[in-house]
Amino acid sequence: MKKLHPFYIALLSAALLQACSPTNQNTKTTTSASLENIKAPVAKKIPHEMTIHDDTRIDNYYWMRDDDRKDPKVLAYLEAENEYAEKMLAHTESRQQQLFEEMKNRIAKDDNSVPVRDGKYYYSTEMQGDNEYPIYVRSKDFSGTNKQILLNVNELAKGQDYYSVGSLAVSPDDAILAYSEDTVSRRMYEIKLKDMTTGELLPERITNTSGDIVWGNNGQYFYYIKKDPETLLGYQVYRHKLGTEQQQDKLVYEEQDTTFYTGISKSKDDSKIYIIHDATESKAVSLIDANDPNAMPVEFVPREDGLEYSIAKHNDEYYVLTNLEAVNFRLMRVSADQLGEKQNWAEVLPHKADTRLEDIELFDQHLVYKQRQRGQTQVFVRNLNTGDEQELSFRDKAYTLYLYGNNESNPALRLYYTSMTTPGSHYDVDLSNLDKTLLKQEPVLGNFKAENYASERLFITARDGAEVPVTLVYRKDTFKKDGTNPLYQYGYGSYGSTSEPSFSSNRLSLLDRGFVFATAHIRGSQMLGRPWYEDGKKLTKQNTFNDFVDVTQALVEQGYGAKDKVFAMGGSAGGLLMGAVINQAPELYLGVAAHVPFVDVVTTMLDESIPLTTNEFDEWGNPKEKIFYDYMLSYSPYDQIKAQDYPNLLVTTGLFDSQVQYFEPAKWVAKLRDYKTDDNLLVFKTEMEAGHGGVSGRFKRLKNTALEYAFFLDLLENE
């Protein structure tokens, strides 16, 4: 719906580099007897009372919160946990290294993204040798001759423990590159400017931003979003004029409602700048004239509670993707001279109760729209002149498809396609006849053959009768549907985010060792449309956890996995899922990995000073209201820890995490150690220089995956 910078897909491609080299080496690990003398850290208890709704909770580990991340007691505890984890997992180091090399060797060291055209240039990224970061380049032709280096991130990252580029934006005259960088991993970006003629950096710096950059059309100013340093909310849109100090920047919009995120983008024809107002249950847009250096924003239509819409400009009209009287969304259209009233919207694509309309892309003579029916993506191409339409066809039963890089209005659609057995593939589609041209398939080094693997889509009946989609993948020659294979189950189930069935070269290290990999598309996602999401949030959140447990039980009963060889993984809100599941059904899992887990739900949601809390009320509920407090408390992983046996647990976090603060998993681990009645492993690792996404760098990130896989394989061998 919005104009994406061509580097967007370059980052997507870098994240999805895939390949395979099967190996079945087994090195018997050290037995638990040799580890029994290693003592886990015991955190000090300092009771902290919290009272609301006539209910008092005691948090013995509240002292672990240090917003400055400098308290010696807190850092000492985290380091003690890291030391304990290192000792307990020392015997797996050779396997971790083996897995790391395995995964690394599947990735092509020299690999370029598919160039994307934007204006006069084609933009792409290059990965070279052992470089951890991309090199951003541009050329005046698709083949990449006479390319110009825009940014070598490897040079910028030298000497940094963490480095991430937020976005890049080239001025309309192609003379200046603006880019944003984060060297702390708190997602607070500094914007810098580079003269593309001299290669020199301009002196001005823009600090405390979200990282988004959109240029005005005269090339003398750009827009950015400033963040609140405490809550990390981006809430102010500023206009910066080149050659001036940040203090002189013009404030053009300030968000007063802290339940909304703020974003900026640009229309495909470059005439309008969009300010995007995004809350969980309401979405809207304001417009700025990109040709007027003094323009102020104008509402597309006034914001309303419960009304969601996004827009795409096409000539003198706007197409509106909206939930207006359409829970699964429909497409409307309005003339550019009739803005301000939704009554002026005319229907283009009607609402369908069983199909969610997800995305559109507009070209001179064609409308492309993407929808999801019974969990499967479908893409249609409609001729705007005749009304005739055709559906794109694909071979896999379950797949993932993204529209990207469509910055021009010419009749070719760029898309990215992948499935559980198909590496990421980039296509251009001729909109006149739907002929597909494969531009690139992500290289898979080693002896990977897609035909060695199989994928299935199942529907599991949950305890309340709902049918939960599950996507499976396994290696054909190691799979037996007799309940003997180890099973790895992944889930997320929040924010309407759908875990797409996509290829992973890292995952092959499990499949080649006999694992069945399952993605449970539980409620809280939108795999089965918007109602699937609504039935897994706020006062129906327990459905998310029930679905995950019911999927596990059904897969074991149907012979896809051995009952004593089940592993589960989730991160962030998926870490909340893991925490709730092991409180409610710990006996089902041999091992669980919870990465950056959101586990202290009630305390966090009661504290609006914690970053991003206010944006979450429409997802979880506001516990200042008793009905939500009671419900959230009933499943909050931290609050519901009890004296019982728990699975073997691997927990990870980042000290500078901006999404889920490090002290949530730290407190959770300390309380689990105090309550659990088993001798199972509980190891906790904090990346002391990283945030929510973990360490930076394409190869360094693999070490965390290798750690998780080695943890699970070690448990499997010692079972």
Q: What is the CATH number of the domain that holds 620?
A: 3.40.50.1820
Residues 362 and 420 in one domain: yes
Q: How far apart are CA 605 and CA 616, in angstroms?
A: 8
Q: Are 308 and 327 in contact (CB under 8 A)?
A: no
With the CA atoms of 618, 329, 368 and 335 taken in that order, what torsion angle do they form, in degrees rounded to the nearest 10? -100
Does residue 148 sit within a domain? no
Type of residue numbered 81 = E
Q: Which of 185, 282, 572, 636 is catalytic?
A: 572
Q: Which of 13, 504, 692, 696 is catalytic?
A: 692
Active site residue 572: yes
End-to-end CA distance of the chain: 50
Q: Are 120 and 174 in contact (CB under 8 A)?
A: yes
Residues 475 and 421 in one domain: no
Q: Are 489 and 500 in contact (CB under 8 A)?
A: no
Residues 477 and 435 in one domain: no
* Domain's final residue, options 426, 442, 458: 442
Residue listed under structure tokens 């531009």: 439
75: left (phi over 0), alpha (psi -120 to 50) or beta: alpha
- Give me the half-sphere count of Cα atoms (radius 13 Å) on the Cβ side of residue 642: 12
Q: How far apart are CA 279 and CA 566, in angstroms?
A: 37
Residues 454 and 552 in one domain: yes
Q: How far apart are CA 468 and CA 613, in angstroms?
A: 29
Type of residue numbered 253 = Y
Q: Are 150 and 196 in contact (CB under 8 A)?
A: yes
Q: In Å, how far are 70, 549, 598 from 588, measured between CA atoms?
A: 39, 8, 21
Type of residue numbered 86 = E
Residues 364 and 460 in one domain: no
Q: Which residues of the chain have pLDDT under 70?
A: 1-35, 690-697
The H-assigned helical ranges of 113-226 are 153-156
Which token pair is 40?
Answer: 């886990």
DSSP 3-state of 555: helix
DSSP 3-state of 556: helix
Q: How far apart are CA 207 and CA 227, in angstroms?
A: 9
Residue listed under structure tokens 């529209």: 403
Residues 358 and 400 in one domain: yes
pLDDT of residue 49: 97
Residue listed under structure tokens 């092509």: 108
Active site residue 692: yes
How many folded domains does the chain comprise? 3
The torsion angles phi and psi of 511, rounded to 5 degrees, stand at -60, -40
* Domain's final residue, options 398, 414, 442: 442
Q: Residues with Cβ < 8 Å from 407, sequence gap 6 or more? A: 3, 4, 6, 116, 117, 118, 119, 268
Q: Are 63 and 48 in contact (CB under 8 A)?
A: yes
pLDDT of residue 699: 79
Q: How far apart are CA 202 and CA 178, in angstroms?
A: 10
Kindly report the length of the chain: 719
Q: Which helix (H) or strand (E) holds 250?
A: strand 250-254
Q: How far apart are CA 19 and CA 103, in angstroms?
A: 8
Residues 707 and 659 in one domain: yes
Q: In what order do the strands lie in the sheet with 487-490?
A: 453-461, 467-475, 516-520, 487-490, 566-571, 591-595, 648-654, 682-687
Each as own residue / partner, the long-range contacts of residues 238-242 (CB below 8 Å, 24 or more positions apart, any chain) are 239/293, 240/204, 240/206, 241/293, 242/176, 242/193, 242/202, 242/204
Does residue 341 sit within a domain? no
Q: Which of 505, 657, 658, 696 is catalytic?
A: 657
Does residue 368 sit within a domain? yes
Does residue 65 sit within a domain? yes
Q: Tell me the sheet residues that pair with 137.
A: 124, 149
Residue listed under structure tokens 């419900």: 631
CA 158 to the chain's CA centroid: 26
Given the DSSP bridges, would you call strands 221-227 and 206-215 parallel, antiparallel or unpaired? Answer: antiparallel
Domain that holds residue 515: 449-563
The H-assigned helical ranges of 431-471 are none
Which token pair is 341?
Answer: 């009233």
Which token pair is 391?
Answer: 């559906």
**For residue 117, which of 414, 403, 443, 418 has the smallest C-alpha distance?**
414
Q: How far apart are CA 96 and CA 710, in angstroms?
A: 6
Does residue 282 sit within a domain? no
Q: Are 125 and 142 in contact (CB under 8 A)?
A: no
Does residue 24 sit within a domain? no
Residues 431 and 461 in one domain: no
Residues 429 and 367 in one domain: yes
Q: What is the pLDDT of residues 352-396, one digit of tens each?
A: 999 999 999 999 999 999 999 999 999 999 999 999 999 999 888
Q: What is the pLDDT of residues 82-125, one digit of tens each?
A: 999 999 999 999 999 999 999 999 998 889 999 999 999 999 99
Which sign, positive or negative, has the C-alpha torsion 239, 245, 247, 248?
negative
Residues 512 and 552 in one domain: yes
Q: Which helix (H) or strand (E) holds 349?
A: strand 346-349
Q: How far apart are CA 555 and CA 549, in angstroms?
A: 10
Does residue 235 sit within a domain? no
Type of residue numbered 403 = L
Residues 365 and 432 in one domain: yes
* Domain's final residue, options 510, 541, 563: 563
Residues 558 and 453 in one domain: yes
